Structure 1
Amino acid sequence: MERTTTPSPTDLFDRALVEEAAKKSGLLWVRPAGQPHARPLWHAWHDGAIVVVGDGSEQPLHGLAASTSAAVTLRSKDKWGRLVALTAAVTRLDPGTPAWDGAVEELKGKRLNAPDTDTIGERWAHECHVLRLTPDDAPLAALPDDALAAAPVPTPATTREPVPAGLPKLLLKRRKR
């Protein structure tokens, strides 16, 4: 007799959080394994995973198609800040398979301003990669405490001088007229 383990409430909560964040936000940040930087990608949620399309005449994937795993950061739709970070297995979907057809149908609805809405699936089959990013069962990654912002590049440029003291009075007079 084989034992099956039931997921803990924390696991269920994590899965629900990832799914809801992926469904609500149209943009995520992906860093393929071995790459130094994360890149923004538009995506869709389909059948328990994130699906993206890229390369060719679509968004650049920056080596994601050749990777087997990636770090994914999902953002909050209303505040645009980091909401959840996870690792995902990367799988390339082959054109003509049921998984590919379902992913393409979901992605078609998310693709804004497509030049060829009627034949977009055919174009993607010929020149693009459709990838499935399946969240792994590991606990969600801890979000960093710092902002991860890079220091500004040194420049000789300066800000302008403080506003002259009389300027606010002049502006207020113009509004009253």
Structure 2
Amino acid sequence: MSSGVLEEAIKKASIAWVSVGDGPAYALWCMPVENALAVVSGPGEQHAPGLAQAERAIVRLRGDHGGLIVQAEAAVERVLPGSPEWDEIAPQLATKRLNASGTAEDLVARWVENGCALVKLVPAGESAVGTAELPAESAAAPPRETPARVETRRPFRLHRVRKR
């Protein structure tokens, strides 16, 4: 597979499916940075278990049609607050964050205060698998258990309903 497809998918990426180890893939919003993706996770941000501590991750990117076009192994590089790289990437990423309260500077300060992790995912071009090599079957999985699920109750009825 040519690395051109991977580079183009990275340039257009706003969401990536990232899995660490044998864990499930999580859909994470991201921002292209050179030939890498910047992702923030942690308290008050998106849930990406194990990503901040990982050395490698699998990144799946979609094409213009919305389907999976490339999958690659990526090196995970943690960007630390106060570093020149943080000062360059964090404000840009904060402006891309949808529905954030406050300014971009407030959001970056909150990331530092809450201990959020900003990581760069640098895909290895030689590990990229293109459309032709990807499995034909769907990679959809059943929904995972989550505390956010709400049990549905029987509907409230003000008056008794008569059976006919």
The answer, yes or no, to whether TM exceeds 0.5 is: yes
> Hey, what does 1:112 align to over in structure 2?
98
Query: SS of the residue aligned with 2:52?
Result: helix
Which protein has greater RCO, CA pairs closer than 8 Å, 6+ apart? 2
TM-score between both structures, scaled by the size of structure 2: 0.76
Counting only pairs closer than 5 Å after superposition, residues 16-27 of structure 1 correspond to structure 2 as 16-27=4-15
TM-score between both structures, scaled by the size of structure 1: 0.71
* Identical aligned residues as a percent: 37
How large is the Cα RMSD of the aligned pairs?
1.9
Deviation for aligned residue 1:80? 1.1
Give the unaligned 5+ runs of structure 1.
1-9, 153-177
1:46–1:106 Cα contact (<8 Å) kept: no
Q: Does residue 32 of structure 1 match 2:2?
A: no
Give the aligned length. 138
> Hey, what does 2:162 align to over in structure 1?
none
> Hey, what does 2:84 align to over in structure 1?
98
> Hey, what does 1:67 align to over in structure 2?
54
Greater Rg by CA: 1
Counting only pairs closer than 5 Å after superposition, residues 150-169 of structure 1 correspond to structure 2 as 150=141
Greater share of residues in helix = 1
Give the unaligned 5+ runs of structure 2.
144-164
Deviation for aligned residue 1:140? 1.1
Deviation for aligned residue 1:151? 7.0
Residues 45 and 109 of structure 1: CA distance in aligned 2, closer, same or farther (over 3 Å)? same
